[in-house]
């Protein structure tokens, strides 16, 4: 299993969704915590300059103004879990807890909002999320889980087309196919199109649309890139062999750690119509070539200095590496993000 830690700062768009109203947040926090709690919401704040309040004797209080209903995000510090809450009434009550955890040797606040009172929309959201958590933990077949997920979300959105909870929950449905997410979006009232939640659905659809490019049986996007000798390599010329396209970079520690397993795989299969093509996202050619030599990588190597913004990075919506694609002899995709053992198992059946 590949572990990737991604930390991003969310910038929220400014828009108007009705008249601004003053609202109050009353909260309690149990467990170990820092002296302050922060929150930010669309149109007003972002994480780095969010509103803060002192936690005194396990209690905190916020008073702010926004166009309700609105999605607010609460956290304890820059390394804290972020919790989403929909505020729609003038007063909302939060019951929270926190415990300290370790992530990449750093202390992290595992902040959780246990209960919310004063927001019917938040109750609707939480009931659905709790049901979904139980569904995902069940022993039902994945196909059945996805169908139940879609059916229940379809019903919720149909019954609440003008509630921001609908596009919010749709935007989280990344495990559903493009066609189903598109159908769900069509149920949402168009008045929500320009809200943060509505735009998040469009973002998911764009991402799912790109994942179709990596679907099994789809032809690989051929490109021409410079190899480690400075010569143009056209991926179309690799037809006739099973090709593992491995996206990596010299600065990527998980990529470098995966190389020994790839070398073992290559030594087993290189004489049996199998080839590896390393596609580096390095910007520094010297470091790239030095990594090839240091790790003793014997397979073909090319570099795309545009990295994630390059033709392959954009076409396949690659946001993190290592990443790979296994191609058949005709250049069609057989699998994505496979381990060395999985690749060997697939190819041994075909060779």
Q: Which of 29-33, 127-131, 290-294, 301-305 has the lowest mean pLDDT?
A: 29-33
pLDDT of residue 17: 47
Distance between CA atoms of residues 10 and 13, nearest Å: 10
Highest mean pLDDT among 101-105, 164-168, 210-214, 334-338: 164-168
Of the candidates 48, 108, 99, 101, which has an alpha carbon nearest to the alpha carbon of residue 73? 48
Residue spans of beta strands (DSSP E) within the chain = 20-31, 36-41, 51-54, 59-67, 70-75, 83-87, 91-98, 100-103, 106-109, 112-117, 224-227, 232-234, 242-248, 274-280, 300-303, 323-327, 333-336
pLDDT > 60? residue 84? yes
pLDDT of residue 12: 39
Determine the topology of domain 224-348 in CATH. Answer: Glutaredoxin (3.40.30)
pLDDT of residue 7: 32
pLDDT > 50? residue 11? no
Of the candidates 328, 343, 259, 337, which has an alpha carbon nearest to the alpha carbon of residue 293? 259
Q: Would you state the structure tokens that stand for residue 53, as one six-digit string?
A: 């309040």
pLDDT in tens, 171-203: 999 888 888 999 999 999 999 999 989 999 998
Q: Which residue has the higher pLDDT, 114 or 42?
A: 114
Which CATH number, 2.130.10, 2.60.40, 3.30.70, 1.10.3470, labels domain 20-118?
2.60.40
Q: Which of 5-9, 138-142, 308-312, 324-328 has the lowest mean pLDDT?
A: 5-9
Residues of the chain with CATH 2.60.40: 20-118
């Amino acid at each position: 299993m590949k572990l990737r830690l991604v930390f991003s700062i969310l910038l929220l768009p400014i828009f108007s969704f009705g008249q601004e109203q003053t609202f109050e947040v009353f909260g309690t926090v149990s467990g170990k915590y820092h002296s302050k709690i922060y929150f930010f919401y669309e149109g007003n704040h972002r994480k780095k300059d969010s509103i803060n309040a002192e936690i005194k004797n396990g209690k905190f209080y916020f008073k702010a103004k926004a166009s309700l209903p609105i999605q607010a995000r609460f956290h304890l510090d820059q390394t804290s879990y972020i919790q989403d809450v929909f505020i729609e009434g003038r007063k909302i009550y939060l019951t929270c807890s926190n415990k300290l955890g370790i992530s990449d040797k750093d202390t992290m606040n595992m902040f959780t909002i246990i209960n919310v009172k004063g927001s019917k929309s938040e109750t609707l959201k939480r009931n659905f999320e709790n049901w979904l958590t139980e569904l995902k933990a069940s022993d039902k077949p994945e196909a059945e889980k996805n169908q139940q997920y879609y059916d229940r979300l379809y019903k919720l959105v149909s019954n609440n087309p003008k509630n921001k909870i609908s596009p919010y929950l749709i935007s989280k449905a990344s495990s559903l196919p493009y066609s189903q997410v598109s159908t769900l979006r069509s149920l949402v009232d168009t008045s929500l199109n320009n809200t943060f939640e509505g735009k998040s659905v469009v973002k998911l659809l764009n991402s799912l649309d790109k994942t179709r490019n990596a679907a099994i049986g789809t032809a690989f996007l051929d490109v021409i890139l410079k190899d480690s000798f400075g010569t143009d390599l056209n991926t179309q010329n690799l037809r006739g062999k099973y090709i593992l396209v491995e996206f990596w970079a010299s600065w990527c520690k998980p990529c470098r750690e995966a190389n020994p397993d790839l070398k073992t795989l290559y030594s087993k299969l290189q004489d049996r119509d199998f080839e590896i093509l390393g596609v580096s996202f390095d910007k520094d050619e010297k470091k790239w070539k030095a990594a090839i030599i240091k790790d003793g990588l014997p397979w073909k190597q090319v570099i795309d200095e545009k990295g994630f913004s390059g033709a392959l990075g954009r076409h396949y919506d690659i946001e993190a590496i290592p990443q790979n694609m296994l191609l058949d002899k005709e250049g069609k995709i057989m699998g994505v993000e496979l381990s060395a053992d999985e690749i060997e198992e697939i190819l041994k059946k075909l060779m």
